[in-house]
A and B are shown apart, each in its own frame.
Chain A
Amino acid sequence: MAALLELDGVTARYGPVHALHGVSLSVDEGEIAAVLGANGAGKTTTLRAISGSVRRDGELRFAGKRLARLGPDAVARLGVAHVPEGRGTFAELTVWENLRLGAYTRRGSKDDFARIQTYFPWLGERRHQQAGTLSGGEQQMLALARAFMQRPRLLLLDEPSLGLAPLLVTEIFRIVRELNEREGLTVLVVEQNAHIALQAARTAYVLEVGRVALAGPSAELQEHESIRRSYLGY
């Protein structure tokens, strides 16, 4: 299968602080890939580098197009939906307005709204509620739904488990897998919770201080005793 997303020697920095020292990875069309690693390893920055929310260098290709010079809005219009850390929902806007914003770059999103309601049935009846008044789990789901409204080819998910109860985390990952299987959505997910991410993902990358320290099929990474202990912490 052809790679939908390819990073080759990508570097990024915040002011003088280098966060990525040459990250290389690739995500195939139709798969779920996971990026794991400790705090400060550069997981979030990797996603930001792809979506253009941070200045980056190196080779980044998405569906054959080079991303390195594009800003976040241009990358989004190419079909990359980035659900950032802290979800990036517009707390001051209603549920419905958040979803409309998801569909901002497209026309005719009525069908998609009906479709996303099959995954999140509660969205319809609460469309006029302010997003900021939703619970943490609901906001994460709204963020997912909004990303879906973008009709992306690639979904970038940053720590969807952050601050959520274990049961909700399982639920979120179940929906992500369903979106992947039924809608053919390619997903690159960043996670602290290595266990659940490895279960969902086919391929996984372990980052260590801004570099890929390990890569491979997640099943293999899961098996590997020493890897588990030193990188995944369980």
Chain B
Amino acid sequence: MVAFAKQKSAVTTGASLPVLLALAAAAAFLVVGSISSSIFAQQTVAGLAQGAIFGSLALALVLIYRATEVINFAQGELAMATTYIAYQLTLWGLSYWLSFFLTLLIAFVLGAVVQVVFIRPIQHSVIAVVIVTVGMFILIDGLVTWKWGADLKFMKAPFGNTVYHAGGVAFSRQDIGVLLVSILSVILLWVLFQFTKLGLAMRAAALRPAAAALVGVRVNWMLAIGWGLAAVLGAVAGLMTEPTQFLQPTMMQAILLYAFAAAVLGGLESPAGAVIGGLALGVFLNLIGQYVGFATSELRLPIAFAVLLIVLLIKPTGLFGRRQVRRV
């Protein structure tokens, strides 16, 4: 009885054995490759840094998808706008990291306010929410361009331009910093969801709003907090994108597409899947760009979606997705 129950719960965590084996094999391949080639190692680290950004934005999409069953098309633009806010704060003379943390706070409030003002009144209709997020995309884009202009802006480099050398391999301090900040924010969020009362209530509100309300959870607040946290993740992604893409209103548009691909790759409902999907995509694209002749930067996006298509053909629910079982 107990053994049977254990088996069942192992299945519902989403990641199947073949997927885990494939991921382990890929990780082993990266380690061996990095040991044998310094260029491979550099590209892997740079890919992980890029992938961590995809992963955090993908996680933001998944957070909202789980609670609202909608892709927030404005997630990338919201991230871009909050990055401009950080830029403005540094213009006013605040240090980079003070601006960074203040921006996360502002992003949280902004995300929650967006949910309360724009989403809550129409949340019963999925299609209306989708259209509102598309509208917000355009609105934010317009507002930012009007306020700051469409030309490139630069912030002070948060991690400097130092390059570390280890055994003939050059790691840029920036890549390491981006990777650490992104992964750290993901871990903090995971701790919040897994180990705190608030996190538990948020999960309950997303899973079964009606039942959550019956135990006293303020479901609407939880949804607003969820949007706030998603905006914080987006702000991290935006701020970590800025050192390589610089500030411009379009800076997050391609990244949103990669993040979407990463989220779907991970199964759309799985936070771990989104992050792993993002990392995998980042590394894969970087290595392909390095070693495959025709994979020029213009082809990165099509290649990303080709990979997504192939994975979905083999495993339609994504790497960590659960098959939907509905009782009728």
Contact = CB atoms under 8 A, between A and B. Distances in A.
A120 interface: no
Interface in B119-165: none
| B: contact size bracket | 20 to 34
B204 interface: yes
B148 to A, nearest CB: 41
B9 interface: yes
A72 B208 CA distance: 13
A53 interface: yes
A88 B200 contact: no
Contacts of B207: 90, 92-93
A162 B212 CA distance: 21
A222 B12 CA distance: 47
Given A84-B211, A88-B208, A150 B216 contact: yes
B204 A101 contact: yes
B326 interface: no
A130 B9 contact: yes
Interface residues of A, number: 29
A73 B218 contact: yes
Nearest to B6: A129
A22 interface: no
B262 interface: no
Contact of A104 (B12, B201, B208): B201
B200 A97 contact: yes
A51 interface: yes
Contacts of A150: 215-216
A73 B219 contact: yes
B212 A101 contact: yes
Nearest to B203: A93
Contacts of B5: 126, 129, 133-134
B18 to A, nearest CB: 22
A125 to B, nearest CB: 9
Nearest to B322: A92
A84 B214 contact: yes
A76 interface: yes
Nearest to A77: B216
B217 A101 contact: yes
B200 A146 contact: no
A102 interface: yes
A132 interface: yes
A88 B12 contact: no
Contacts of B211: 84, 88-90
Interface in A86-111: 88-90, 92-93, 97, 100-102, 104-105
Which of A51, A73, A88, A89 has the most B CB atoms < 10 Å from its CB? A73
A102 B197 CA distance: 11
Interface in A109-143: 126, 129-130, 132-134
Contact of B213 (A72, A102, A130): A72
A93 B214 contact: no
Contacts of B201: 101, 104
A116 to B, nearest CB: 15
Contacts of A177: none
A133 B197 CA distance: 23
A9 interface: no
A71 interface: yes
Nearest to A149: B215
B204 A90 contact: yes
Contacts of B6: 129
A82 interface: yes
Interface in A51-101: 51, 53, 71-73, 76-77, 81-82, 84, 88-90, 92-93, 97, 100-101
Contact of B210 (A81, A84, A100, A105): A84
29 contacts: A53-B210, A53-B213, A71-B213, A73-B217, A73-B218, A76-B215, A76-B216, A81-B214, A82-B214, A84-B214, A88-B208, A88-B211, A88-B214, A89-B211, A92-B207, A93-B203, A93-B207, A101-B204, A101-B217, A104-B200, A104-B216, A104-B217, A105-B216, A129-B6, A130-B9, A132-B12, A133-B8, A133-B9, A133-B12
